[in-house]
Amino acid sequence: MIEFDGVEFRYGGGREILREVSLTIEAGGFHFLTGPSGAGKSTFLRLCRMALRPSAGRLRVFGVEAAEADADAVAALRRRIGMVFQDGRFLDHLSVFDNVALPLRIRGAPARERRAQAAELIEWVGLGARAHALPAELSGGELQRAALARAVIGAPDLIIADEPTGNVDRETAVELLSLLMALHRHGKGVLIATHDHELIRAARRETPVQVLRIEDGCVLAQGRRR
């Protein structure tokens, strides 16, 4: 589903953040991406949704070749990827409900469908009572739940989450993980960047996970274990 083949990446003329990355992220897998702060985890995720393109090497995402993808091809592949951003990225003046429904509005889905899906997902993440609050009125954990609902609303094939448990307490982290695992059981691929090793251990107790580690610009697969 995502294939890196000799991918190298640097910002502008800067140092090499990723070098010679060759790996495949398979459809429907549960993947963690770990490594120290500044190692390039967020950069790797940006490449996966083609918010960045490789400086060298080949990258293919859902059959789309990075070197050839035009704006329409990138938009199409982003519809298959639900993204939970590290920094939330909510529109402050819209309610939680409208923020969650926004991806469908952008796609031109009918209002009734948008409302039904947003309501269902907001319930699913346990925010039913907060649907009409503004983002500024939510706690860190509530914001992450809302971000997950928004990521899932377009029925993506893959959910990417960048440090989803970075600013939440342990209990909320475990709840977010269990929502991601439920999505995985329903056939979605999951890719989570985190340096929370407790989270990785908790996931491993439930399902086989693939752990990728970024170190010195190299991405190493740590094997599929329970």
> What is the smallest separation between the CB atom of 18 and ligand ADP, expressed in angstroms?
9
Residue 194 near ligand ADP by CB under 6 A:
no
Residue 190 near ligand ADP by CB under 6 A:
no
Residue 19 near ligand ADP by CB under 6 A:
no
Tokens representing 170?
Answer: 């342990």
Residue 41 near ligand ADP by CB under 6 A:
yes
Whole-angstrom CA distances from 76 to 26, 45, 69, 177, 186 are 19, 17, 10, 27, 22
Tokens representing 73?
Answer: 């091809």
> What is the smallest separation between the CB atom of 37 and Mg ion, expressed in angstroms?
7
C-beta closer to ligand ADP: residue 8 or 206: 8
Whole-angstrom CA distances from 82 to 7, 10, 148, 156, 183 are 23, 25, 8, 6, 12
Q: Which of residues 33-62 bind Mg ion (CB under 5 A)?
A: 41-42
C-beta closer to ligand ADP: residue 139 or 222: 222
**Residue 172 near residue 194, CB atoms below 8 Å:** no
- Pairwise CA distance, residues 205 & 192, whole Å: 16
Tokens representing 26?
Answer: 């398979």
The binder of 43, among Mg ion, ligand ADP, none, by C-beta within 5 to 8 A per type, is ligand ADP
**Residue 177 near residue 199, CB atoms below 8 Å:** yes
Question: Where do the DSSP E strands lie in 13-53?
Answer: 16-25, 30-34
**Residue 181 near residue 203, CB atoms below 8 Å:** yes
- Pairwise CA distance, residues 47 & 4, whole Å: 10
> What is the smallest separation between the CB atom of 91 and Mg ion, expressed in angstroms?
22
Instruction: Point out which span in 35-43, 96-104, 108-116, 178-186 binds ligand ADP (CB under 6 A).
Output: 35-43
**Residue 90 near residue 133, CB atoms below 8 Å:** no
C-beta closer to ligand ADP: residue 39 or 161: 39
C-beta closer to ligand ADP: residue 41 or 184: 41
Residue 38 near ligand ADP by CB under 6 A:
yes
Residue 17 near ligand ADP by CB under 6 A:
yes
C-beta closer to ligand ADP: residue 45 or 149: 45
Residue 210 near ligand ADP by CB under 6 A:
no
Residues that bind ligand ADP (CB under 6 A): 11, 14, 17, 35, 37-43
Residues that bind Mg ion (CB under 5 A): 41-42
